[in-house]
Chains A and B, each alone.
Chain A
Amino acid sequence: MTRIEFMQGNVASAEGALAAGCTFFAGYPITPSTEVAEHMAAKLPKRGGVFIQMEDEIASIAAVIGASWTGARAMTATSGPGFSLMMENIGYAVMTETPCVIVNIQRGGPSTGQPTMSAQADMLQCRFGSHGDYSIIALAPASVQEMYELTAEAFNLADRFRVPVFVMADEIVGHMRERIEIPESVPVVGRRPLEPGMLPFRPGEDLVPGFPRFGSGFGVHVTGLTHDERGYPCATSPKVHEDLVKRLVEKVESKRHEIADYRVTNPDAEIVFVTYGSPARSVEQAIHDNPGLDIGHLRFRVVWPFPEKALGEFRNARAFIVPEQNLGQMAREIERHTRVPVIRLPRFGGALHTPEELVAAVEGVR
C-alpha cells in the first residue's frame, strides 16, 4: 500500500536507496548532503546492511567500489568539495565498469563556497570531471518525491549499464520537506551475472559484459589500467585502448534515447523554459500563475546522457530560456543541439528564480 509521508529530500533519497535494495553506504559528512548519511547510519545496520563513515571522500567512493564487486548495491552521498575528491575513483569505476550510485547535493562553489546554499554548479563536473573519455548517467530530481524515485532508479541504471550513476540534486530539493507518496515497492532490475566460460570483459550485444561477482569463482582480475577482454592489463596497444574506451562511451551513448526521461508541458508554445532540479518549480508556478502567457516547459529528469531529441518536442519554439543555479552549464549543452536562440537565466548564490523574474524573461524575448 502506498504510504503518505512528510519528508526531507535527503531522507527521501536514502529511503529510495533502501527500497532499491542498497546494502552498503560509505560516506564522509559534508553539508548539505549529511542527512543522507545520517539516515543510512540509522537504517542500514538494522536491515543487515553496512554503513561506514570513512576517513575522507576518496576512501568513501573506494569502499563503495570495493563493496560493489562483492555484488552489493552500494552508494555514497556528498557535495561539491567531496565530489571533486571522488573524481579519480569515479574514473576507476568507469574503467572497471563498477555499478555504483553517487548522490551529490550541490552547494555553491568554487572551493568551499557556500556550504548551506543551493547550486547546480557540478553539472559538468559529473559528466567530465575525471580524466579520459567516458560517459555516465546523471539524474536530476526536482521534488522530494523524485529524490526517492530517481535515487531508486539510479541503482537500476547503474546495474544495467555498469556505470557510476549520479543523482545531481541541489540543496533546495535536498533540504526541503514536502508530501511524498511511498509505494509498496520500487522496480528492481539487477546486474546480469557473467555466464560461466565467458570472458569477464567481453561485452554482450548491449555492449555491457556480465558481472563476475567476487567470491563466485571467476577469479577475475579488475584493473584501472587499459585491459583486454580477459581483464588483463594491456596498456600499450592503441587498438585495445581504442576499442575499450569507445565501448565504455558507446554502451551509454547508444542508449541515450532509451535512458532519456523528461516532462513536456505545452508543446505548442513558442517560448519554452528548459529546466532540471529546483528551478523547475519556479517555472511551474509561473505557468500556473499566468495561464494566458503561453509558455512551454521541458523538464529533464535525466541530464546525462543529454536527451537532445527532447528539444524537438517543441516544434514552434522560437526561444529556449534556461534558468539554472549556475552560469549556464546545461544551457551550453542545449545550444549545441538547437538552432533556436538559447537564453541563459542564471540565478545563483543560493537564491532561486522567482516566478516574476521568469515572466519578465518571457516578456523580454517577446
Chain B
Amino acid sequence: MTFSDWLRVDRLPHIYCAGCGNGTVINCTLSAVDQMGWKKEETVFVSGIGCSSRAPGYIVTDSLHTTHGRALAFATGIKLANPSLNVVVFTGDGDLAAIGGNHFIHACRRNIDITVVCMNNMIYGMTGGQGSPTTPRMALSTTTPYGSVEPAFDLCELAIAAGANYVSRWTSYHVKELTRAILAGLRTPGLSFIEALVQCPTNYGRRNRYRQAIDQIEYFKEHGMLVEKARRLREEGKEIPPDTIILGELARRNRPAMGVKA
C-alpha cells in the first residue's frame, strides 16, 4: 500500500489553488500513516473549517469535518469513546489558534492521544486572505492593509507550554523531515502537534512579495534554522535574526496521557 491508496479518488480533483502547500502536507501525513501500518477502518481524520480542514474529505477513512475551531473537541469525544480508533486532526492557523485556541490549550493539557497536523499558511485562505493569529508583523492581508501590527503566535511554544507530549515544526519545503516528524508524532502516546508552514500563493503570497509559489518555499528554505543550531548560537551569545523559522523536534516527553489504546 502507498499513501495514494488512502485518497478518496472519486472526489478528486481537490479544491486547493494551484501552488498551495496543503497537498504536500496531506501527502506527508498519509505517508506517515501508511508507514504506521494502520488499517483504514481503524483510522479517523477530523478537521474544523478552512482550507486545511477540507483534507479529510479526500481521504477514504471515516472522517468528521466539523465546525470552525472545534475539531479538537470533536476528536476528544471520538478518542475517549473509542480509544482503539487512531485519530488524526488536520487544522489551520485560524481554525486552531484563533477560534479554537481554548480547545487547543486544553487538548494539549489533557494530552489526549491524537496527532494534530497544523497547516499554517499565516492567513485565512478560504475567506479570501484576512489576517490570522500567525500573520507575521507588518505582513499584508485584507484586514491588515497597512501591515499587521499584532505580534504572531508561536503555536509550538503554546503546545509545549500547555503540555503536549510531542511538538515539531517543519515547512512544505522539508517534505522528508515533515513526514518523519508526523510519523514520530503518530508513534508518541499523548497529544502530538506538528506545525507545517505552507505557502498560500493566492492569498498570502501575492500580497507579500512572493510572485510565485516557489518563492515562498525558497523563503522557508532560507529562513529555516534547525533548533539545535539555534540553541548553539544562543549559547555562544550570537543573535538569531527575528525572521528565523526554528525547525525540528521541539519537545518529546512522556507526560501522562488520556485516551491511549489499552
Q: Which residues of A contact B (CB under 8 A)?
A: 23-24, 26, 50, 52, 54-56, 58-60, 62-72, 74, 88-89, 92, 212, 214-225, 232-233
For B80, what are the chain A residues with a Cβ–Cβ distance below 8 Å? 24, 50, 52, 63, 67
- Chain A residue with the shortest CB-CB distance to B76: A63
For B260, what are the chain A residues with a Cβ–Cβ distance below 8 Å? none
CB–CB B74/A221 < 8 A: no
For A72, what are the chain B residues with a Cβ–Cβ distance below 8 Å? 81-82
B145 contacts chain A at the CB level, 8 A cutoff: no
Give Cα A67–Cα B259 distance, bound, in whole angstroms. 12
B60 contacts chain A at the CB level, 8 A cutoff: yes
Q: Which residues of B contact A (CB under 8 A)?
A: 8, 11, 40-42, 44, 46, 56-57, 60-67, 70, 73-82, 84-85, 102-103, 105-106
CB–CB B65/A52 < 8 A: no
CB-CB nearest 8 A-B residue pairs: A66-B77, A63-B77, A62-B73, A67-B81, A59-B73, A223-B65, A66-B74, A70-B82
For A214, what are the chain B residues with a Cβ–Cβ distance below 8 Å? 44, 62, 64, 78, 82, 85
- Chain B residue with the shortest CB-CB distance to A60: B73
CB–CB B41/A215 < 8 A: yes
Give Cα A26–Cα B75 distance, bound, in whole angstroms. 13
CB–CB A59/B70 < 8 A: yes
Q: How far is the CB of A85 from chain B (nearest CB, A)?
A: 11
18 additional A-B pairs beyond A215-B85, A217-B40, beta carbons within 8 Å, are A24-B77, A54-B76, A59-B106, A62-B67, A62-B73, A63-B76, A66-B46, A69-B62, A70-B85, A89-B67, A214-B44, A215-B62, A218-B62, A219-B8, A220-B63, A221-B62, A224-B65, A224-B66
For A71, what are the chain B residues with a Cβ–Cβ distance below 8 Å? 82
For A55, what are the chain B residues with a Cβ–Cβ distance below 8 Å? 73, 102-103, 105-106
Residue of B62, B74, B81, B105 with most chain A CB atoms under a 10 A cut-off? B81
Give Cα A60–Cα B103 distance, bound, in whole angstroms. 11
For A221, what are the chain B residues with a Cβ–Cβ distance below 8 Å? 8, 56-57, 62-63, 65
CB–CB A70/B81 < 8 A: yes
Residue of B44, B75, B82 with most chain A CB atoms under a 10 A cut-off? B82
Give Cα A218–Cα B105 distance, bound, in whole angstroms. 32
Give Cα A4–Cα B15 distance, bound, in whole angstroms. 60
Give Cα A69–Cα B62 distance, bound, in whole angstroms. 10
- Chain A residue with the shortest CB-CB distance to B58: A221
Q: How far is the CB of A94 from chain B (nearest CB, A)?
A: 12
Residue A232 contacts which of B11, B79, B105 (CB distance < 8 angstroms)? Answer: B11
Given contacts A215-B41, A225-B65, contact A63 B57 (CB under 8 A): no
CB–CB A59/B65 < 8 A: no
Given contacts A24-B80, A221-B63, A222-B65, contact A66 B73 (CB under 8 A): yes
For B64, what are the chain A residues with a Cβ–Cβ distance below 8 Å? 66, 69, 214, 222-223
For B70, what are the chain A residues with a Cβ–Cβ distance below 8 Å? 58-59, 62, 89
For B11, what are the chain A residues with a Cβ–Cβ distance below 8 Å? 232
Residue B77 contacts which of A74, A220, A223 (CB distance < 8 angstroms)? Answer: A74
CB–CB A215/B81 < 8 A: no
Give Cα A217–Cα B102 distance, bound, in whole angstroms. 33
CB–CB B73/A217 < 8 A: no
Q: How far is the CB of B109 from chain A (nearest CB, A)?
A: 9
CB–CB B106/A66 < 8 A: no
Give Cα A144–Cα B81 distance, bound, in whole angstroms. 29
CB–CB B65/A63 < 8 A: no
Q: How far is the CB of B150 from chain A (nearest CB, A)?
A: 24
Give Cα A69–Cα B66 distance, bound, in whole angstroms. 12
Give Cα A57–Cα B187 distance, bound, in whole angstroms. 31
Give Cα A217–Cα B78 distance, bound, in whole angstroms. 16
- Chain A residue with the shortest CB-CB distance to B103: A59
Give Cα A220–Cα B60 distance, bound, in whole angstroms. 8
For B42, what are the chain A residues with a Cβ–Cβ distance below 8 Å? 215
For A89, what are the chain B residues with a Cβ–Cβ distance below 8 Å? 67, 70
Give Cα A225–Cα B48 distance, bound, in whole angstroms. 11
Given contacts A89-B70, A215-B41, A223-B57, contact A66 B62 (CB under 8 A): no
CB–CB A24/B67 < 8 A: no
Given contacts A55-B106, A221-B57, A232-B57, contact A67 B67 (CB under 8 A): no
Residue B63 contacts which of A23, A74, A215, A222 (CB distance < 8 angstroms)? Answer: A222
CB–CB B76/A52 < 8 A: yes
CB–CB B82/A62 < 8 A: no
Given contacts A70-B81, A215-B82, contact A65 B74 (CB under 8 A): yes
- Chain B residue with the shortest CB-CB distance to A95: B67
Give Cα A63–Cα B79 distance, bound, in whole angstroms. 9
For A223, what are the chain B residues with a Cβ–Cβ distance below 8 Å? 57, 64-65
Q: How far is the CB of A19 from chain B (nearest CB, A)?
A: 19
Q: How far is the CB of B138 from chain A (nearest CB, A)?
A: 33
- Chain B residue with the shortest CB-CB distance to A49: B81
- Chain A residue with the shortest CB-CB distance to B79: A66
For B56, what are the chain A residues with a Cβ–Cβ distance below 8 Å? 221
CB–CB A62/B81 < 8 A: no
CB–CB B77/A26 < 8 A: yes
CB–CB A69/B78 < 8 A: yes
Given contacts A216-B41, A223-B65, contact A233 B57 (CB under 8 A): yes
- Chain B residue with the shortest CB-CB distance to A98: B64
For B102, what are the chain A residues with a Cβ–Cβ distance below 8 Å? 55-56, 59
Q: How far is the CB of B1 from chain A (nearest CB, A)?
A: 15
CB–CB A219/B65 < 8 A: no
Q: How far is the CB of A166 from chain B (nearest CB, A)?
A: 19
CB–CB A220/B81 < 8 A: no
Q: How far is the CB of A91 from chain B (nearest CB, A)?
A: 8
For B75, what are the chain A residues with a Cβ–Cβ distance below 8 Å? 66
Q: How far is the CB of A347 from chain B (nearest CB, A)?
A: 37
For B84, what are the chain A residues with a Cβ–Cβ distance below 8 Å? 215
